[in-house]
Amino acid sequence: LLMSWCFEQRDAKRLLEVCKRCGSTDQSLWVQALAFLCADEGDHIEEIREVLVHIEASELMPLLMVIETLQQSQSVTVGAVRPYLQGQFKRLIDSAESSRGKAKQDRIEIARMQQELVDLRTQAQVFQSTKCVMCSLTLEVPAVHFFCGHSYHAYCVHSDSACPQCSSEALPKITLREQREAQARNAEDFFKYLQGSSGDKQIQALGEWCKFGPFDAGEQLTQRAREDAGDAAAL
């Protein structure tokens, strides 16, 4: 009601007072205030700057949406909102640099793992462990050695042909991957996830969804279909 009264009276100062008083509980008031100030014919440069400070601090609107809103004002110039634009561009640059750094680390880790696989396939492995990882007693024959470097007494290892320690560490990752693959195949959840964002955050949401492995999940389904078709043909 207070916002509606401020809109009717075209009182920009009272509008900001309402936003400061109630904005902590309803941050959408700042978005409404920006839309009103830009649509109004008066000169509200100072008020717009103050509203942009709060919008930027709380990340209430994506950059493109803010620019579209500012375009409605006849008095707002690039110079008037330069601090906001500079802050947003700096944030985008920092985000891009952070992503490049993470991608570089991922490539280094992938290269290391690929080289490790090559070494395991082409080079002899020397097992020098003297204690069983499971019971910590001195190794005695028969012993079981895994390529990961862990060694066990034969009676300390289950018959699933997997290193107990590495299997327990990998199980949460395998479970998470399976959950992501199942989520990636759920189109309904994807559209709900996308509708919860807007503007630049929709693109970010698409990127976040891609890490769930939707393309890998589709490829696995295709591979399974081919295998089923091959089995049917064999029959």
Tens digit of pLDDT for each residue in 11-32?
A: 778 888 888 888 778 888 888 8
DSSP, collapsed to helix, strand or coil, labels residue 74 as coil
Handedness of CA 109, 114, 119, 120 (dihedral sign): positive
User: In terms of pLDDT, which residue wins out, 38 or 167?
Assistant: 38
d(CA 139, CA 154) in angstroms, rounded, equals 10
As beta bridge partners, residue 152 has 144
Closest by CA position to 151, among listed 161, 168, 139: 139
User: In terms of pLDDT, which residue wins out, 91 or 169?
Assistant: 91
180 Cβ contact partners less than 8 Å away, ≥ 6 residues apart: 211, 212, 213
d(CA 95, CA 63) in angstroms, rounded, equals 14
Amino acid 187: pLDDT? 63
How far from the centroid of its chain's Cα atoms is residue 133's Cα? 36
| Residue whose structure tokens are 């936003």 | 19
User: In terms of pLDDT, which residue wins out, 198 or 104?
Assistant: 104
Which range has the worst mean pLDDT, 14-23, 58-67, 121-130, 174-183? 174-183
- pLDDT for 230 beyond 50: no
- pLDDT for 188 beyond 90: no
Amino acid 235: pLDDT? 37
- pLDDT for 173 beyond 80: no
Mean pLDDT, the chain, rounded, equals 77
Burial of 234 (0-12, 13-18, 19+ CB in 10 A): exposed
Amino acid 101: pLDDT? 92
Which range has the worst mean pLDDT, 6-10, 184-188, 229-233? 229-233
Q: Apex CA 53: angle with CA 48 and CA 58, to 5°? A: 125
Average pLDDT value for residue range 67-87:
87
Local confidence band at 104 (pLDDT 50, 70, 90 cut-offs): very high
Amino acid 229: pLDDT? 45
DSSP E strand stretches across the chain: 143-145, 151-153
Percentage of the chain with pLDDT > 70? 73
Average pLDDT value for residue range 22-50:
83
Phi-psi region of 16 (alpha: psi -120 to 50; beta: other; left: phi over 0): alpha
Q: Which tokens sit at 37?
A: 């100030």
Amino acid 193: pLDDT? 59
Q: Which tokens sit at 194?
A: 């996308």
- pLDDT for 185 beyond 90: no
Tens digit of pLDDT for each residue in 203-228?
A: 666 666 666 555 554 555 455 545 54
Which range has the worst mean pLDDT, 69-83, 144-158, 218-232? 218-232
pTM of the model: 0.53
d(CA 65, CA 123) in angstroms, rounded, equals 57
